[in-house]
Amino acid sequence: MKKEIQFSLLYRDMFQSSGKYQPRKDQLERIAPVIIDMGCFDRVETNGGAFEQVNLMYGENPNLAVRAFTKPFNEAGIKTHMLDRGLNALRMYPCPVDVRKLMYKVKHAQGVDITRIFDGLNDANNIIPSIKYALEGGMTPQATLCITYSPIHTVEYYTKLADKLIEAGAQEICLKDMAGIGRPWSLGQLTKNIKDRHPEIIVQYHGHSGPGLSVASMLEVAEAGVDVIDVAMEPLSWGKVHPDVITIQAMLKDAGFKVKDINMKAYMEARALTQEFIDDFLGYFMDPTNKHMTSLLLKCGLPGGMMGSMMADMKTMMPVINMSLKAQGKPEMSIDEVVVKLFDEVEYVWPKVGYPPLVTPFSQYVKNIALMNIMAEAQGKPRYSLLTDKSIWGMILGKSGKLPGEVAPEIKELAKEQGLEFFTGDVQALYPDNMDDFRKEMKENGWETGPDDEELFELAMHPEQYRPFKSGVAKQRFEADLQKAKDAAMAKQGFNPEDILKLKRAKAEPITAPVNGQVIWEIDVVNASLAPAIGDKFQEGDHFCYITTLWGEQAEVKANFTGKIIEVCAQQGATVNKGDVLAYIERPQD
């Protein structure tokens, strides 16, 4: 029998590649013991990348979620790992050194064993410091090769990069085939090169299903000596996600490899729970096209994980594109035509901006350049005329690291015309330490820094998301977004807006005006324009609003039961009659 190959379940990445949000803490706590009972996983990806930002976006503390999810795996002896963007750490733009260092200490304390460090440009200078910081923080650094396919990204290129990262202290190497476009034979050769040179180094393969190559790639890397393979499971396997563990286990077992058996009873239970989470709220933010595989991805090289956001962008831009075409007397385009045009434009733009591997955030940047070029063409303007985004220019100018290839002359000339200069120095020096500023902000707000400074880290890492989380605004926005998504789903089923309102109100109870007068939500002038938001919660007896009568008296309206707002019917200053509905509140579900 051949060597044993281990499986890692990318439970949270399954959702990341399918939609906008992640499971809640309580859902992660429910699924963890079932994953353990499946008996086939030696590793589970528990956090990292955008996973924690989306917790904040729907009003949940990601630190509590990570601790809760890792705990049962730690106790069962299953390794946990996270996704780490090197210079960017857990966000889309660069981090100061003090924030990067704190991350590893916090995540180690929270129960995360391995950090998968990648750089979107494959710039070793952005990865190597994180290897050092991870070791200092007590974590296992798994350095990552972002796999793509171009004249530059050869087996030799990746082999040399792996040598450099291992020499710098990486204890493991991940082949991150984020778009699933790595060619199986080349991936096998790369795996063999690494194992021949560094037999003690663990090699893990991560490949999305997207264009359909990843199953063949998994067999090739297995034959070449890979140690761990990332997999998914139904109902979120395949499509733009990852191959299912059942298929890969069967394939490797037939090829003579030692693989663990799957407890199918637990698999089916985990499958049902995952579907329950989708039905609960996650499915409202999943584009159905993410369930599809497409060979078109081979042409453009875009990762499957960003297809959901791309399709959302497309739906937003379509009316604008067609309006511009119509104004010029040109025929309008269907969304399929624009998608194909976008893929062609990505293929054209990619080498012009130096072949950045198409992984977060650079996949988004290249896609956005292509989308802006399509928009410019529809408006009768030249390519790149709408390119003003500072983050995209930062990538082009070298402020995110060294690009693998040369920037095209026309892009260099455009930068010169705009007074922009290329940067060749130490990228980290552009982002000085700033932890003291965040510590001061927490003290001024009366916020606790948390165990192991984890709350301080969260603010420093995700300030744009953490502040709305702390104020409660994030939760309100999410509740409103969820209600809109639910309404849209009902509309697709043939319900008109009036039907939807009736169904919503049937599950709620009204709060009515006790007298004739004018609605005043807040007496405080500063907040006078603010009515409650969808999702705001009230306890029975809470102040609700005031009604100012014609003779100047103010009647206070109180919530007559506990629940959350699902509809506001009277805005600030509205005139109402006694008995008119001010808002509808839905009681908590049993």
Q: What is the pLDDT of residue 304?
A: 62
> Would you place residue 307 in the very low, low, confident or very high pLDDT band (cuts 50, 70, 90)?
low
Question: Cβ(29)–Cβ(69) under 8 Å?
Answer: yes
Q: What is the pLDDT of residue 528?
A: 43
Which strands sit side by side in the sheet containing 554-558, from one edge to the other? Answer: 554-558, 543-548, 517-520, 575-576
Measured CA to CA, the distance from residue 97 to residue 91 in angstroms comes to 14
Instruction: Identify the CA nearest to 354 among candidates 538, 42, 123, 112.
Output: 123
User: Which residue would you say has higher pLDDT here, 27 or 376?
Assistant: 27
Tell me the domain boundaries of the chain. Answer: 6-285, 296-429, 496-586
Burial class (CB in 10 A: 0-12, 13-18, 19+), 376: middle
Instruction: Identify the CA nearest to 410 among candidates 387, 384, 432.
Output: 384
Mean local confidence (pLDDT), 262-282 = 96
Question: Cβ(159)–Cβ(190) under 8 Å?
Answer: yes
Q: Is the pLDDT of residue 196 over 70?
A: yes
Is it true that the peptide bond before 361 is cis, omega within 30 degrees of 0?
yes
User: Which residue would you say has higher pLDDT here, 59 or 1?
Assistant: 59
Q: What is the pLDDT of residue 554?
A: 85
Mean local confidence (pLDDT), 299-306 = 71
Q: Using alpha carbons only, give the angle 507, 508, 512 rounded to the nearest 5 degrees.
A: 155
Measured CA to CA, the distance from residue 291 to residue 270 in angstroms comes to 19
Q: What is the pLDDT of residue 194?
A: 98
Question: Cβ(215)–Cβ(243) under 8 Å?
Answer: yes
Q: What is the pLDDT of residue 305?
A: 59
Measured CA to CA, the distance from residue 160 to residue 17 in angstroms comes to 30
Mean local confidence (pLDDT), 195-220 = 97
Give the pLDDT confidence of 398-430 residue by residue, as tens digits.
999 999 999 999 999 999 999 999 999 999 999
Mean local confidence (pLDDT), 146-150 = 93
Structure tokens at 72: 């049962």
Measured CA to CA, the distance from residue 215 to residue 209 in angstroms comes to 8
Structure tokens at 161: 């990069």
232: left (phi over 0), alpha (psi -120 to 50) or beta: beta
> Would you place residue 160 in the very low, low, confident or very high pLDDT band (cuts 50, 70, 90)?
very high
Out of 192-201, 377-386, 405-414, which region has the weakest mean confidence (pLDDT)? 377-386
Instruction: Identify the CA nearest to 149 among candidates 119, 180, 120, 127.
Output: 180
Mean local confidence (pLDDT), 109-125 = 96
With a pLDDT cut of 90, the percent of the chain lying above it is 65
Instruction: Identify the CA nearest to 304 among candidates 231, 235, 395, 207.
Output: 207
Q: Is the pLDDT of residue 242 over 70?
A: yes
Four-residue CA torsion sign, 358, 361, 364, 369: negative
Q: What is the pLDDT of residue 312?
A: 66
Coil, strand or helix: which one is 58? coil
Query: Quick count: other Cβ atoms within 10 Å of Cβ 308?
Result: 21
Structure tokens at 308: 């959901």
DSSP secondary structure code for residue 575 in this structure: E
> Would you place residue 189 in the very low, low, confident or very high pLDDT band (cuts 50, 70, 90)?
very high
Q: Which CATH code for domain 6-285?
A: 3.20.20.70
Measured CA to CA, the distance from residue 88 to residue 419 in angstroms comes to 26
User: Which residue would you say has higher pLDDT here, 536 or 253?
Assistant: 253
Q: What is the pLDDT of residue 435?
A: 95
> Would you place residue 32 in the very low, low, confident or very high pLDDT band (cuts 50, 70, 90)?
very high
Q: What is the pLDDT of residue 526?
A: 40
Backbone angles phi, psi at 368, to 5 degrees: -70, -35
Q: Using alpha carbons only, give the angle 235, 238, 241 rounded to the nearest 5 degrees.
A: 90
Instruction: Identify the CA nearest to 302 among candidates 351, 343, 354.
Output: 343
Beta strands 228-231; 554-558: pairing state: unpaired
Mean local confidence (pLDDT), 259-283 = 96
Q: What is the pLDDT of residue 507?
A: 81
Question: Cβ(18)–Cβ(236) under 8 Å?
Answer: yes
Mean local confidence (pLDDT), 374-386 = 88
Instruction: Identify the CA nearest to 233 among candidates 212, 187, 264.
Output: 264
DSSP secondary structure code for residue 114 in this structure: E
> Would you place residue 589 in the very low, low, confident or very high pLDDT band (cuts 50, 70, 90)?
low
Give the pLDDT confidence of 337-361 residue by residue, as tens digits.
888 888 889 899 999 999 998 887 8
> What does 306-350 look like in DSSP terms, one character per residue?
GHHHHHHHHHHHHHHHHHHHHHTTPPP--HHHHHHHHHHHHHHHH
Q: Is the pLDDT of residue 287 over 90?
A: no
> Would you place residue 530 in the very low, low, confident or very high pLDDT band (cuts 50, 70, 90)?
low
> Would you place residue 83 in the very low, low, confident or very high pLDDT band (cuts 50, 70, 90)?
very high
Q: Is the pLDDT of residue 524 over 70?
A: no
> What does 149-180 look like in DSSP terms, one character per residue?
-SSS--HHHHHHHHHHHHHTT-SEEEEEETTS
Mean pLDDT estimate for the chain: 91
Structure tokens at 423: 């940067």
Mean local confidence (pLDDT), 29-48 = 97
Give the CATH fold of the 496-586 domain: OB fold (Dihydrolipoamide Acetyltransferase, E2P) (2.40.50)
Measured CA to CA, the distance from residue 214 to residue 242 in angstroms comes to 8
Give the pLDDT confidence of 569-578 residue by residue, as tens digits.
888 888 999 9
Measured CA to CA, the distance from residue 182 to residue 151 in angstroms comes to 13
Mean local confidence (pLDDT), 53-60 = 92
Coil, strand or helix: which one is 25? helix
Give the pLDDT confidence of 430-455 residue by residue, as tens digits.
999 999 999 999 999 999 999 999 99
